[in-house]
Chain A
């Protein structure tokens, strides 16, 4: 069985590497990280991830603009995206701590790894991966 591809776009290499390491250890994930949002589209086209995890606050193009670009991209428009950002807190009102707004799920970056993992799996499930 082919591994699940996850693309992480965040300007913090330390964070992306640690998340990648955890994901890799936690399950059958093939994780690729991009620390420059300008290279994200190219990377996504090449990597064709099952889920793209995007930070919001990034130098250059921010997460929001990037997702908009994905949506405009004929190849990437249907790519599942999960926002992982320090801008939001864990939503106490949702079971998984997500905040869904504008058709996008926001997960707090400071959430426990388990929480983040649960959210990732949920989105993968939703997209039928």
Chain B
């Protein structure tokens, strides 16, 4: 063999080179075939090519060697056959290997859940696997071939992918584990974790890109959700004014919120991570905290609202409360502590202030003599003062939280209280009222004010009441009122006395005057009387006319004498000579005196005298005198025009009287008294308003000179007054005037 080998060295090496070239070419074809996939026309062409090339090569080698040596040729032929056989076997083996690789590749492409693709230099899909086709909404991978990302995605993502691929192709560097947010045409959104690499041919030339990506949409959604939640939690704890922290058992901060960082003077929460309270707190506080943490970790019992104080220098002493809770993992092991520090300084101050204000309020209330209380909307007492306790004889603890019904025995009063409360709640306004309550069986008067109390939003939450005992004041007021009444009465009496005094003085002077006048008048009257007497004897009985004239003169004298007598009566205020008499009889007698004049004046007389009137005590002469006087007045008021004069008597009960009417006379008339009335109505023009007040003044007259003395009504009034009666003159509604005498009537009868 060594010999042969030496002999054949040159041609053999030449042949070997040719063979290698041929094999290389075959290999290339095989690779091509493989890469094209089994069964494709290209691979079949490659296979055919391999065989043909082998034969041509061998034939060519054979022909070259024929000329050199037949043995050599024979040997060579044998070796060639051997080699050819070996080659065929090798080829077969390669083919098997290819087929197997192809199977692996296809299996991988078919079943791997990742998306795999190959793209050409223009980013057209060359090959995609089933998963990718599915994700892209294509039934078969072949449907995607030749298409680009723009056929599937919105421009934004497709452009970015294209850009990435160009970069990869330019730089030759792949992109690993890129998370891509993909928006498909039609809006579907997915996330993919993608690795993209340059696709090179065997010579290392970049001919495209390929990539493998996993759909991480679910993951991303979960991650985003978690991210959001984390942010939310972070924002939440950062927005807490309380200082929140999480520490590991070694007291290293794992989480702190902004408030905590600010509180300890750290730049940021992050700065504190890994540090311990020793880095931020005074030693004693840090030590106490450490001891507490140890206990907590050992016992697992949380610390709730532990109070502590810290001197913050310029910030003053702050009151804090701390709550710490162990953090336990699934195995029940304590892996840390979550805690919260709260600055309650302001709260405490506010509370202290509130307590102080409440105390002040209570003291103010307690020192008021009034009864003060506060009830909620449900009528439960929330605050009462000492005055309240004393009024009801109860301690405030027995009252607070209870309703009126619960402790006030007088249910009616309790209901009334509640009614007032409801009125305040309903109207939202204050009410004031007087109230009588029995205290130790004694009635006491209270003036009460109830008003609503509102919260800052204006809602009524309570009813407050202040009741002031005004019994003394009320009594004083009553006394004062009584006094005032008395005073007023006294004043009126005084006024009346004054008037009466004036009247009396007037009367006195009038009386003096009257008696003087009377005396002076009586003398000539006496003279005339004497003269008449003398003359009467001179006139014979037969001289009727003379006798009649005499009679008239005598009557005139009588009348004059009566007037003078009246004057004297008036001035002397003589005692009455009382006798029981029938009013109607007196009236009739008076009428008989004026009958003639009535007839003469053409006045119709109407009598309306009640029957069965009881006799009353009176001075008949004087009453008769009054009646005549009034009748003459009535006649004169009617003048010459005629008219009617109505005289009426009746019995009645007196109605309400003017308060001063006869008030100062013993036995004067009072409302309800049984009385007898004598009324004289005329149909004249009535009493002019301007003379009404002066009617009873002595010497006041409306009659023409010589017609009246002006004494009639004043004397009449005086006479009726002496009878404890009244004389009134007033206009009748239907016209004309009415004179009314009211005389007291004995009860019986």
Contacts and interface: CB of A to CB of B under 8 A. Distances in A.
A128 B533 CA distance: 27
Given A92-B577, A113-B529, A22 B534 contact: yes
Contacts of A100: none
A19 B530 contact: yes
Contacts of B93: none
B568 A12 contact: no
Contacts of A108: 522
Interface string B407-442: 000000000000000000000000000000000000
A108 B529 CA distance: 12
A87 B519 contact: yes
A108 B537 CA distance: 22
Contact of A22 (B519, B530, B561): B530
Nearest to A11: B523
B531 A109 contact: no
B609 to A, nearest CB: 27
A51 B122 CA distance: 187
Q: Which of B526, B531, B534, B577 has the most CB of A within 10 A?
A: B526
A86 B529 contact: no
Contacts of A112: 529, 533
B533 A22 contact: yes
| Max chain B Cβ within 10 angstroms of own Cβ: one of A12, A92, A108, A110 | A110
A14 interface: yes
B463 interface: no
Interface in B461-476: none
Interface in B557-606: 561, 564-565, 568, 577
Interface in A16-69: 18-19, 21-22, 25, 57
A25 B564 CA distance: 29
Contact of B533 (A86, A87, A92, A113): A113
Contact of A21 (B520, B526, B529, B534): B534
B518 interface: yes
B561 A110 contact: yes
Interface string B503-529: 000000000000000111011011101
A21 B564 CA distance: 25
Interface in A60-90: 86-87, 89
B180 to A, nearest CB: 150
Contacts of B518: 86
A29 to B, nearest CB: 14
A12 B523 contact: yes
Interface residues of B, number: 19
A109 B526 contact: yes
A92 to B, nearest CB: 7
Interface string B436-459: 000000000000000000000000
In the complex, which of the residues A92, A108, A112 has the most CB atoms of chain B within 10 Å of its own CB atom?
A112
Contact of A89 (B529, B534, B565): B565
Interface in A90-114: 92, 108-110, 112-113
Interface size class of A (residues with CB under 8 A): 10 to 19
Interface string B146-159: 00000000000000
Contacts of A87: 519
B312 to A, nearest CB: 121
Contacts of A113: 529-530, 533
A22 B527 CA distance: 11
B564 to A, nearest CB: 7
Contacts of A12: 523, 527
A25 B493 CA distance: 61
B534 A57 contact: no
Contact of A110 (B520, B529, B531, B577): B529
Given A89-B565, A110-B561, A18 B523 contact: no
A10 to B, nearest CB: 9
Contact of B523 (A15, A22, A89, A92): A15
A18 B519 contact: no
A21 B531 CA distance: 9
B522 A18 contact: no
B530 A15 contact: yes
A22 B561 CA distance: 20
Contacts of B523: 12, 15, 86, 109
A19 B534 CA distance: 9
A15 B520 CA distance: 13
B631 to A, nearest CB: 23
A41 B115 CA distance: 182
A109 B522 contact: yes
Contacts of A18: 527, 530-531, 533-534
Interface string B138-173: 000000000000000000000000000000000000
A89 B523 CA distance: 12
A57 B568 contact: no
Given A15-B530, A113-B529, 8 more contacts: A18-B530, A22-B530, A86-B520, A86-B522, A86-B526, A89-B565, A110-B525, A112-B533
Interface of B: 518-520, 522-523, 525-527, 529-531, 533-534, 537, 561, 564-565, 568, 577
27 contacts: A12-B523, A14-B527, A15-B527, A18-B530, A18-B533, A18-B534, A22-B533, A22-B534, A25-B534, A25-B537, A57-B519, A86-B518, A86-B520, A86-B522, A87-B519, A89-B565, A89-B568, A92-B577, A108-B522, A109-B523, A109-B526, A110-B529, A110-B561, A110-B564, A112-B529, A113-B529, A113-B533
Interface of A: 12, 14-15, 18-19, 21-22, 25, 57, 86-87, 89, 92, 108-110, 112-113
Closest 7 CB pairs of A and B: A86-B522, A18-B530, A113-B533, A109-B526, A15-B527, A86-B519, A110-B522
